[in-house]
Amino acid sequence: MIKSFVPKLMGLRLMALYKIKPKKAIHKAFMLFCTPRSGFVKPHQKDYLKAHQSKTIEFKKIKIQTYHWPGNGSKVLLIHGWDSHTYRWKDLITKLKAQDYDITAFDAPAHGYSEGNILNVPIYSEVLQKMLNQYKPEILIGHSVGAMTCIFNQHLQQDSNISKMVLLGSPSEMQRVMKGFQKILGLSDSFMKVTQDYFKERYGYTFSEFSMAKFGAYIKVPCLIIHDKYDKVVPYKEAISINKTIRHAELIITEGAGHSLYAKSIDEAIINFLQS
């Protein structure tokens, strides 16, 4: 009961501020949307992450923590999702290492051992581009917002070094995400209209234009898209939409793996796709 009440209280405060100082209210709402609630490293995860830490990469005055598992095969870059960090890849890394892939991962800003306070897809895409420039990977594997970031980044950059992408549980429509944000906080339509204007001015897109299904039309590399039918975070229909627009895509719909998509069969499907 308390947890459900807190967002509504925050929304009421934002609406009250909006009547007095609309610009300040919109900025606060945007910052709230971009601020992770979790993504910190838990005690049982520390030893594993510390053992594989590599260099830190500077990004706009904050340090991004990277990790490395050396191998002689193709270079793989792992991009985790919201409220997560590199530990989420532990099981998949074990399987990739067995195939001698050269694996790099990093914690997003405001997640894991990286610095920073906020994250969104445009920011994440900039960090990803730094990693692409630094490590020259041939394969991208992203989960959730990380998968969304892969699509957005490749739509912008058309990075020629990338030969394959794996997209796990990727959201597609910013419009849907923002409608959920509006509902949770109880924000008015006029508030959201001005928030959209703020986003458009800052990043060049309206909420409806910021669509991975639309951006997917620009993706040229083969992609494996995996999504669970019973994903409670991102509707699986968004994976179907993305799959329709990417020219060379394979779609796997699972049942029971949830949004996290932790399953031996999924890891095996990824390895098979990479080796095909």
User: How confident is residue 8, by pLDDT bands cut at 50, 70 and 90?
Assistant: confident
C-beta of residue 206 within 8 angstroms of C-beta of residue 146: no
Each residue of 159-179: pLDDT tens digit? Answer: 679 999 999 999 999 999 999
Instruction: Note whether 17 and 129 are same-domain residues.
Output: no
Chain segment 99-127, per-residue pLDDT in tens: 999 999 999 999 999 999 999 999 999 99
**Strand pairing partners for 108?**
none
- The pTM assigned to this predicted structure is 0.95
Full residue range of the structural domain in which residue 237 is found: 40-173+211-275
The domain boundary, picked from 194, 210, 226, lies at: 210
Is the same domain home to 44 and 67? Answer: yes
pLDDT above 70 as % of the chain: 97
Please report the pLDDT score of residue 4 as a whole number. 52
Could you tell me where the DSSP H helices lie in the chain? 2-20, 22-33, 43-51, 90-98, 121-135, 145-157, 174-185, 189-203, 212-215, 237-245, 264-275
Query: What per-residue confidence (pLDDT) applies to 5?
Result: 55
How many domains are there within the chain? 2
The 10s digit of each residue's pLDDT in 65-86 is 999 999 999 999 999 999 999 9
List, in order, residues 6 or more apart from 270 with CB less than 8 Å away: 92, 95, 141, 166, 224, 226
227 and 108 in one domain? yes
Q: Please tell me the chain's helix, strand, coil percentages from 3-state DSSP, rounded to the nearest 5.
A: 50, 20, 35
Domain boundary among 158, 185, 210: 210
Within this chain, do residues 109 and 94 fall inside the same structural domain, yes or no? yes
Question: Same structural domain for residues 111 and 247?
Answer: yes
pLDDT tens per residue across span 192-227: 999 999 999 999 999 999 999 999 999 999 999 999
Tell me, yes or no, whether 249 and 238 share the same domain: yes
Question: The domain that contains 101 carries what CATH number?
Answer: 3.40.50.1820
Residue 276 above 60 pLDDT?
Answer: yes
Structural contact between residues 111 and 87, judged by C-beta atoms closer than 8 angstroms: no
By three-state DSSP, how is residue 224 classified? strand
